[in-house]
Amino acid sequence: MNPLKKAYCRSFQAVLKAALPFLPYRKPEIIHSVYGIPQILKKKKCDHVLIITDTGIISHGLITRLEDTLDQHFIPYVIYDGTVANPTTTNVNEALALYYEYDCNAIIGFGGGSSIDCAKAVGARVAKPHQSLEKMKGILKVHKKLPLLIAIPTTAGTGSETTLAAVITDAESRHKYPINDFPLIPRVAVLDPKVTASLPPFLTATTGMDALTHAVEAYIGNSTTAGTRADALFAVKMIFENKGKENTLETLHIALNAAKERGTTLVVASSAGDTLIELIKMQEELGTHVPMVMVGQAYGYPKQGVNTMTDERRAELTAAGVHIIHAAHALSGAERGISRKFSGAYPVEIMAHTLRMFGQGTKVCVEIAMMALDNGAIELNKPVVCVGGSARGADTACIITPAYTADCLDTKIHEILCKPGLY
């Protein structure tokens, strides 16, 4: 690079870094399920939606839940699925034509970075209808507020749902250029684990490595801030240490969505009730209500005369409509004490150890389902969604039709929605 040009670039970079605290950067509002989108649209008074995606998303059925949700709330929408990798000006123009044809006032980018970048560019053209994308390339040339832009990423790698950049390719010259401005940051980012969980495994793996690469770059870059370095370090730790409490929120989202889709009860293992507090927050965020049963440790376990849940927390959960039961562990408790006393192994204890082959959380899910049924908290012969884990947090969700403890072998595990890998 020419020395004068290099000096100019470095100077510009230094000035921009110094100005960052004073620039209008904002973080998008984060919601954790596509089920929360209708509330957002109604709140913003948006009644016609353009969805920008690609044919791969359509063919894999990833968009079905979003369509069903919008249909249930009678929100009209039109889908543009022509986005290609490295979206072109042709993609933007075609999607823009649909936006005007169907009188849309909101845009949803659904997919990887290409679909979200295309959605950003369409929003920029709506905001500045008399200016071409080429004239917006570079930094801070959009200026105007975009229509409501919602980003739903299907991969972990790009981060386009939170950035101020869109990369577009000129359809004729094949020249690729960025558009960078603060209005391009989506207003809402939907981080729905069920969307990413449905991707092919190889794509999940490669985009996970992409996420790691971006996090490392953000940490070691010369133009970072204290905030970006902290976020980057947190991201790296999550990728390498995603166990226990770090899994709790994702597990709860998967379980809550499954219970909502099936119209059934959510049965959750919790000692102190913290997991149920998170679920209550999610329910409020989504504007939904799924019946919840909390299965806690029996009085006297692990210390005689006490219970691990405080009276205050019990009152808080009861007021929120949570059905709370406390019972001895259906697959451990008594038989564990007998086996210790007589130095042997008994049938139910063997069953518990067998279930632990799938992970501690799977055993807990089966156990709490039977405990809830024994206590009359759920109906006989009706499937429920169960959430279990370990002392580190929730990490497993299953769909189970439990039997009474006395008929424990009649219990049916229909589906394991999520569980940690065993390494």
Tokens 């991201």, residue located: 235
Are 219 and 260 within one domain? no
User: Does residue 7 form part of some domain?
Assistant: no
Mean pLDDT for the stretch of residues 346-363:
83
Longest dimension (CA), the chain: 85
Are 249 and 236 within one domain? no
CA distance 177 to 165: 10
pLDDT at residue number 310 = 85
302 confidence band (pLDDT: 50, 70, 90): low
User: Does residue 332 form part of some domain?
Assistant: yes
| Backbone angle region of 111, left / alpha / beta, with phi > 0 → left and psi within -120 to 50 → alpha | left
Are 233 and 174 within one domain? no
Token pair of 351 as six digits: 């069953």
Are 128 and 204 within one domain? no
Of 208, 241, 274, the one marking the end of a domain is 241
pLDDT at residue number 237 = 75
Q: Reply yes or no on whether the pLDDT at 201 is more than 70.
A: no
- Report the share of the chain in percent with pLDDT over 90: 48
Are 87 and 117 within one domain? yes
Q: How many domains does one find in the chain?
A: 3
pLDDT, tens digit (0-9, with 9 covering 90-100), for 73-122: 999 999 999 999 999 999 999 999 999 999 999 999 999 899 999 999 99
User: Does residue 13 form part of some domain?
Assistant: no
Are 402 and 281 within one domain? yes
Q: Reply yes or no on whether the pLDDT at 244 is more than 80.
A: no
Residue 402 vs residue 261, higher pLDDT: 402
Of 184, 213, 241, the one marking the end of a domain is 241
Are 82 and 110 within one domain? yes
pLDDT, tens digit (0-9, with 9 covering 90-100), for 249-275: 778 888 998 898 889 999 999 888 888
> What is the average pLDDT score of the chain?
86
The domain that holds 91 is classified in CATH as 3.40.50.1970
For the whole model, what pTM was predicted?
Answer: 0.62
Query: What residue numbers bound the domain in which 235 lies?
Result: 200-241
Are 288 and 213 within one domain? no
pLDDT at residue number 333 = 56
pLDDT at residue number 379 = 94
Q: Reply yes or no on whether the pLDDT at 51 is more than 90.
A: yes
User: Does residue 10 form part of some domain?
Assistant: no
Partnered with residue 323 across adjacent β-strands are 293
Beta carbons within 10 angstroms of residue 12's beta carbon? 11
Are 60 and 183 within one domain? yes
- Nearest CA to 49 out of 109, 111, 9 is that of 109
Are 84 and 192 within one domain? yes
Distances 171 to 86, 139, 386 between C-alpha atoms, Å: 10, 21, 50
Are 164 and 227 within one domain? no
Are 97 and 137 within one domain? yes
Can you spell out the DSSP letters for 264-318?
A: --EEEE-SSSHHHHHHHHHHHHHT----EEEEEEPTTSSSTT--SS-HHHHHHHH
176 confidence band (pLDDT: 50, 70, 90): very high
38 confidence band (pLDDT: 50, 70, 90): very high
- Nearest CA to 180 out of 145, 126, 141, 147 is that of 141
Q: Reply yes or no on whether the pLDDT at 151 is more than 90.
A: yes
Tokens 């980018």, residue located: 109
Of 209, 241, 273, the one marking the end of a domain is 241
